Amino acid sequence: TNYEFILTETKGRVGIVTLNRRKALNALSTPLMTELNAALKVFDKDENIGAMVITGSEKAFAAGADIKEMSKLNFVDNFKNNFIEDWTGVTKIRKPIIAAVNGFALGGGCELAMMCDIIYAGEGATFGQPEIKLGIIPGAGGTQRLTQAVGKAKAMHLNLTGDFISAAEAEKAGLVAKIYPADQLVAEAIKNAEKIASYSLPSVLMAKELVNKSFELPLSEGLHLERRLFHSLFATEDQKEGMNAFAEKRAPNFKHK
């Protein structure tokens, strides 16, 4: 497929999307988000893909929603068109998505990274929710997912001051899983994605779903669901293969079913 604002490629069982509006620091325009959602859906349906990576350029993962596009919008149209709602397509993808963040992840860019399942950052990455400086607030998780990730103190600071934090601070706060040298970030993210994609797909999908459910369910219900899905994996060929391979001291050959 030919996209205008993103590049897509595959490496082994990994689907890679590179945001490609370099001159605008990958500002997330509506057409870009439409393409991103479409590409992720294609990878999600592809039997040969087990995990995905979203990345940007060295200078910017994404510097936010497209301010020039938004400056023309008004309340009634936003409300009628449910502006931003379609961004949530990213969160409906079932296979794991890694955000590999070099440079700016600001506003909607930070929110897009937080919609992914894991954030890895390059050493020079910068995170922030500067919407407040534009007379607005975040609209795609900056007040909600960020608070779940880093707690009230830092979420309030970031949302109310619009200040940026470094990759090191973001990792310390729990927003970022790992930091890599900037020039190795994408390769390392792909390596981690390859590892995830090598495992039995049903177990990977369930693990992702359950971690996300932990934010929605009371503990007892989350634990109950976890135990039931754990039981169910014993119906897969891959559970037999994984455990036999361990006993036979060899690498498992998962069929991903």
At 116, the amino acid letter reads C
Give the one residue of 5, 61, 104, 120 binding ligand HXC; rule: CB under 6 A: 104
Helix (H) or strand (E) holding 16: strand 14-19
**Whether residue 188 lies in the annotated active site:** no
Does 204 contact ligand HXC by CB under 6 A?
Answer: no
**Segment lying near ligand HXC (by CB under 6 A), choices 1-9, 44-52, 65-73, 220-228:** 65-73
Q: How many CB atoms are closer than 10 A to CB 45? A: 10
**Whether residue 241 lies in the annotated active site:** no
CA-nearest of 57, 54, 59 to 193 is 54
Does 138 contact ligand HXC by CB under 6 A?
Answer: yes
Question: How many residues of this chain interact with ligand HXC, rule: CB under 6 A?
Answer: 22
SS3 137: coil
Q: How many CB atoms are closer than 10 A to CB 218? A: 9
Does 130 contact ligand HXC by CB under 6 A?
Answer: yes
Residue 13 contacts by C-beta under 8 Å, 6 or more apart in sequence? 48, 49, 50, 51, 194, 197, 198
Question: Which residue of the set 131, 140, 155, 226 is catalytic?
Answer: 131
Give the count of alpha carbons within 13 A of 104, CB side only. 20
From CA 95, how far away is CA 207, in angstroms rounded?
10
Does 116 contact ligand HXC by CB under 6 A?
Answer: no
Give the one residue of 131, 171, 226, 238 binding ligand HXC; rule: CB under 6 A: 131
Give the one residue of 111, 117, 226, 238 binding ligand HXC; rule: CB under 6 A: 111
Does 107 contact ligand HXC by CB under 6 A?
Answer: yes
Mind telling me the catalytic residues?
65, 108, 111, 131
- Positions in the binding site for ligand HXC (CB under 6 A): 24-25, 27, 63-68, 84, 87, 104, 106-108, 111, 130-131, 134, 138-140
